[in-house]
Amino acid sequence: MLAAAELTQLDDLCNRAAAYLNPAQLADVRRAYEFGATAHAGQLRVSGEPYIQHPLAVACILADMHMDHETLIAAVLHDVIEDTPIGKDRIALEFGGEVAAIVDGLSKLTHIEFESHAETQARNFQRMLMAMAADIRVILVKLADRLHNMRTLSALAAPKRRRIARETLEIYAPIAQRLGINTIRLEFEELGFAALYPLRYRVIKKEIHRIRGNRKEIVDKIKDRIKRHLRQERLLANVHGREKHLYSIYNKMREKNLGFSDVHDVYAFRVIVDTVDTCYRALGVLHSLYKPVPGKFKDYIAIPKANGYQSLHTVLFGPFGVPIEIQIRTSEMDQVAEAGIAAHWLYKSGDGAAKSAQKRAREWLRGILEMQQQAGNSQEFLEAVKIDLFPDEVYVFTPKGEIMTMPRGATAVDFAYAIHTDLGNSCVACRINRRLAPLRTPLETGQTVEIVTAPGARPNPSWLNFVVSGKARATIRHYLKNLQLDEARALGKRMLERELSSQGLSVERLDAQHVEAALTTFKLDGLDRLYAEIGLGNRLAPLVARSLSHEQPDLGAGPKRRRKADLEVTSAAPPLVIRGTEGMVVNFPKCCYPIPGDSIIGFLSAGRGIVVHQHSCPNVAEYRSAPDKWVDVQWAATVERDFSAELSLDVINRRGVLATVASAIADANANIEEVEISERNARNSNIRVVISVRDRKHLADVIRALRLIQTVVRVVRRKT
């Protein structure tokens, strides 16, 4: 027998769904309830109520959104796979494959052990988003599930309440905003704010109630005046005045460091009209009624937001000097603004706005799929998605006039990756409004951006310091990881061949059985992986060389004994030649800035490969306790790249001295990378400058040119 509360809730669900479902579909929903109630029999929520009441409440939320009967069935069954012995196949047999796929997409990975709670959350979130990419109804059920959990949060302990509230504000509210479901987003923010910061919530709410009477009177007066002026121009419109939500007030206070009295006097109105043409005519009427605030007009009708949202936004100087926020939109645009992608099911209008929201949501999901494929792990993927959910946007144009929506702060590199991965990987420069600009320049709304590419170009690790979009960050990391592995393999093979050659061997001449046995010992799946391990500094080439040859070292010997044996092999091997083309697995540190011609030594660093120092570098002393990690290196006869070198100049304080120094460096065919000036006294200053040079001879030419300047007292190369 069903409990009275459950019967009432089931009837409530069916009454809501009866407005748009046929009797056969309603019967399926009832059957799903009976199936779910049997599966969850005996299970209780933390609050003590029967568990089935939660799925029913989730289905009621979705019925208000007019979701199809398959979504309602999935909502009723959404915890069955996770919390009962019933599997996906049984649900598919009873209710069809689509319902089973939605329920499976919502089920958490509860049977796998992860290293941390953060990794568990990230993997479950990743799994849900992948299911969402296949069927967008997965996320709608999840949002409804989270909404009911937020409404019943008081039954949980305080730490868990705060954790769920923070997750809701950081992930689910932004997802609801990205999908344009404004009503759910606002409730997420209010409930999350109340649970995460209860004291701040109560204080702001108390202040709102205190001034509400006077505020309502002002809002009504402004609303009546707006209606009257629109009627005089024969424009039919519904005008709604609203209070700002508590969470938006709190955010504005925090971001702009304002007091409550500086925020609560912002009044917001929504003007709903019948056509797009009327939107612009109404805008003209309102601008003649109250003066607009310069720079505060935004046309989201001509250029919709990424989630399909369309509206005209303007801020006016209202009565008493109070700013008035006004949004003007059609009724279809208003439906999409409140329901987002759910407008497709809620109104069945088939209008352009709802279709636009659906299209943009799917474009976003395609980008999410690309990020998932290139992310190194679940937590990295979650961070990339969080970045991508950043709500503020700028709108820029391609050279062909197409509009691209980018997150605020995005650069030309973000823009290039948003168009295509290959374009981002090969970009070398950009033109903003037809003028060359640095790749790190933040883009602004209205700019036209053109990307300049080069055939041999590849992503620069420094780009990670300024890109802001999740796709750009994930793609660059993915490329650099693969690039580093390729470079590590090449370097590792050279290092191993060098060690083997000292024994009169080569990789090709090794006994296959010995190689296989050594790889098994190292727990590696092939020579390529072994080369990468050596190149990254995770394994010592001398030890590997002896393991691969018939002469196996005593792996059980103490570290001193092994170290001595390794050094004997190292001393017999020829120096490793540094060509400058090894990439990220050969590093030249800033402590001594080694350049071709310097006497150098290499040091193996796990994960980084070889770090090359000058022999005279003070930091080399730190490595004397680990001689087994030293690598004998020497410069190649020809090195085809530039290297950094640091100079210290004592100069006389005169106007234009820096320009003279920069000109002399440029005339010597060197490039300035960094410059720093510090004043020593009223007469003298010191200029620290990092320049790029080819070798010691080139550096000597630059120093000679600088010493010819009359205002330069002293020039020395700095090595520490």
- Determine the pLDDT at residue 647: 95
* Whether the predicted pLDDT of 697 surpasses 70: yes
- Across 80-89, 215-224, 388-397, 574-583, least confident range: 388-397
- The pLDDT tens digits of the residues spanning 633-647 come to 899 888 878 899 999
Confidence of residue 59 (pLDDT cuts 50, 70, 90): very high
The more confident residue out of 399 and 362 is 399
Taking 70 as the threshold, does the pLDDT of residue 570 lie above it?
no
Is pLDDT of 39 > 80? Answer: yes
User: Is the pLDDT at 561 greater than 60, yes or no?
Assistant: no
Q: What is the pLDDT of residues 602-639, one digit of tens each?
A: 888 877 788 899 988 888 877 767 777 788 889 988 88
Q: Max Cα separation, the chain?
A: 101
DSSP, collapsed to helix, strand or coil, labels residue 590 as coil
The pLDDT value recorded for residue 8 is: 76
Q: What is the pLDDT of residue 81?
A: 87
What does the pLDDT read at residue 707? 94
How confident is the model at residue 380, as a pLDDT?
A: 60
pLDDT digits (tens, 9 = 90+) for 466-515: 898 878 888 888 887 777 788 788 888 888 888 788 777 777 777 777 78
The pTM of the full predicted model, rounded to 2 decimals, is 0.58
- The values of phi and psi at residue 428, to 5°, are -125, -20
At residue 713, the pLDDT reads 93
> Look-up: residue for tokens 């009832």?
30
The distance of Cα 215 from the centroid of its chain, to the nearest Å, equals 40
Predicted local distance difference test score (pLDDT) of residue 536: 78
pLDDT in tens, 111-138: 444 445 566 666 666 666 666 666 778 8
Q: Is pLDDT of 286 > 60?
A: yes
Place 555 in a pLDDT band, splitting at 50, 70 and 90. Answer: very low
**DSSP H helical ranges for 86-233:** 88-95, 97-106, 117-134, 137-151, 158-167, 173-178, 182-196, 198-232
Q: Sign of torsion, CA 100 102 103 108? A: positive
In which residue are the tokens 């409140």 written?
338
pLDDT band at 382 (very low <50, low <70, confident <90, very high): low
For residue 565, the model assigns a pLDDT of 42
Which range among 31-40, 314-323, 394-403 shows the weakest confidence by mean pLDDT?
314-323
**pLDDT value of residue 396:** 86
CB burial of residue 556 (10 Å; 0-12, 13-18, 19+): exposed
pLDDT at position 566 is 44
Please enumerate in sequence order all residues whose Cβ is within 8 A of that of 284, keeping only pairs 6 or more positions apart, or say none.
Answer: none
**pLDDT value of residue 131:** 63
Q: How far apart are CA 254 and CA 236, in angstroms?
A: 39
The pLDDT score that the predictor gives to residue 360 is: 61
Phi and psi angles of residue 13, each rounded to the nearest 5 degrees, phi first:
-60, -45
Q: Structurally, what CATH architecture does the domain formed by 392-458 represent?
A: Roll (3.10)
Q: For residue 668, what pLDDT band results from cuts at 50, 70 and 90?
A: very high
DSSP string covering 346-392: HT----HHHHHHHHHHHHHHHHHHHHHHH-SSHHHHHHHHHHHT---
Confidence at residue 111, expressed as pLDDT on a 0 to 100 scale: 42
Per CATH, is 4-151 categorized as 1.10.1420.10? no
**3-state DSSP assignment of residue 653:** coil
207-343 placed in CATH 1.10.1040.50 = no
Residue boundaries of the structural domains of the chain: 4-151, 207-343, 392-458, 478-635, 643-718
Instruction: Please identify, in words, the CATH class of the domain defined by 643-718.
Output: alpha beta
Q: What is the mean pLDDT of residues 553-570?
A: 42
Establish how many alpha carbons lie within 13 A of residue 127's alpha carbon, considering only the half-sphere containing its beta carbon: 16
Q: How far is CA 348 from CA 178, 332, 344, in A?
A: 21, 11, 6
Q: What is the mean pLDDT of residues 657-684?
A: 88
Confidence of residue 336 (pLDDT cuts 50, 70, 90): confident
Q: Tell how many helices (H) and how many strands (E) occur in the chain.
A: 28, 20
Write the pLDDT tens digit of every residue in 215-253.
Answer: 677 788 888 889 999 999 888 899 988 767 888 888 888
Least confident of 341-355, 418-432, 643-657: 341-355
| Residues labelled catalytic | 82-83
Q: What is the pLDDT of residue 457?
A: 81
Q: What digits encode the pLDDT tens for the residues 17-38?
A: 888 888 999 999 999 998 988 8
Quick: pLDDT tens for 62-110: 888 888 889 999 999 988 888 888 888 899 999 998 899 888 877 754 4
Share of the chain above pLDDT 90, in %: 23
